[in-house]
Amino acid sequence: MKKIYSRVIIMFFAGIFVLTLVVDYVFAIKTETQVIKELEKKERDEAPVNVTVPKVEYKTESLKNPFQGYLKKPEAEAASGKQQEVPPPTLTIQGIIWGGELPQAIIDNKVVKVGDVIQEARIIDINKYGVTISFKGRQYNISSPASANMQTQEQKIEGGENEK
């Protein structure tokens, strides 16, 4: 009899506990729904906010022109408007290594890389067709002996005038 009585009491309190949870849940949903409706009403009733964006002016007077070359003319030549033509030094390319991270060339039996100076000429670029140098404010391209062969082979691949 005691077992039945204790089970009934446990069931009673469990029922009250579950009923309390359900009532709290219902009231929470009702309160949450009311709060959402109030917020939606406030959003609809509020006047739209006008944001004024200040006018921004872009001035490039002090910035470098990205389309302008990085080599500047000497001031005397720029002022006179005449540039004296000075031929570049005679440089002989024996070989080029251009496929890696550090392209190099063999010029006049010396291994050079981009940035090196040989006979007052600065190496600017090394690619599969040759070497670009800067000498006295001007740029010159020096073809490698192999680039002439590469270009004639590319022309042969494309076909001649009779094949069109």
- Residue 125 confidence (pLDDT): 92
Q: Work out the pLDDT band at 137, boundaries 50, 70, 90.
A: confident
Task: Kindly report which listed range (9-18, 21-30, 151-160) carries the lowest average pLDDT score.
Answer: 151-160
d(CA 52, CA 43): 21
What are the residue ranges spanned by the domains of the chain? Answer: 1-46, 88-158
**Residue in the structure block whose two tokens are 């030094």:** 89
Q: For residue range 50-79, what is the model confidence (pLDDT) as tens digits?
A: 778 888 776 766 666 666 665 555 555 555
- Residue 150 confidence (pLDDT): 57
Q: Work out the pLDDT band at 44, boundaries 50, 70, 90.
A: confident
User: Which CATH number is 88-158 given?
Assistant: 2.30.30.830
Dihedrals φ, ψ of 74, to 5°? -60, 145
Residue 18 has pLDDT above 90, yes or no: yes
- Residue 164 confidence (pLDDT): 45
d(CA 155, CA 139): 27
